[in-house]
Amino acid sequence: MSRREEMNTNEINALLGRGSSFEGKLSFEGTVRIEGAFSGEIHTNDTLVIGQGADVKAQIFAGNVIVSGGTVTGNIHAKHMIELEKEATVRGDLETPALRIEKGVIFQGSCRMENLGQPRPAEVAAPPSAASTDRPARR
């Protein structure tokens, strides 16, 4: 178990352990760790940890996502960060402003990195062209 996993284990609010399975929509606050099988949707502004042996088939919308040794099939949208630790397998698209991938990860998909927690800046209006004026043209 990595140091990061040890830290997260101490702060976990809920655990779907090995041998457990759940299908549906999961919403939570705090940190949740999945080590079993999950299928559906996951929504949180906080942290999702997908641990060793987990099999997750879901659309994930979270603040932070840590995949450490489990398998995820589905898209992951994280407002702050996605971390893929060694032996993790992810098949799906990622959207996040920050991404960390360790050596040994299997990732099949695309990645879009934007600051998802912030509104996009308004487009700047183009300056008026020199050809258009309020004065009549001289002859």
CA distance 61 to 8: 19
Residue 124 domain-assigned? no
Q: Flag whether 119 is in a domain.
A: no
Q: Is residue 132 part of a domain?
A: no
Per the domain annotation, does 117 fall within a domain? no
Mean pLDDT of the chain: 85
Beta bridge partners of 23: 39
| Total count of domains within the chain | 1
Any domain includes 9: yes
Residue 27 covered by a domain: yes
92 lies in some domain: yes
Domain that residue 15 falls in: 3-107
Over residues 7-54, the pLDDT tens digits come to: 444 588 889 999 999 999 999 999 999 999 999 999 999 999 999 999
Contact 39, 26 (CB under 8 A): no
Cβ-contact 129, 111 below 8 angstroms? no
* 121 in any annotated domain: no
pLDDT classification of 6: cutoffs 50, 70, 90: very low
CA distance 67 to 137: 66
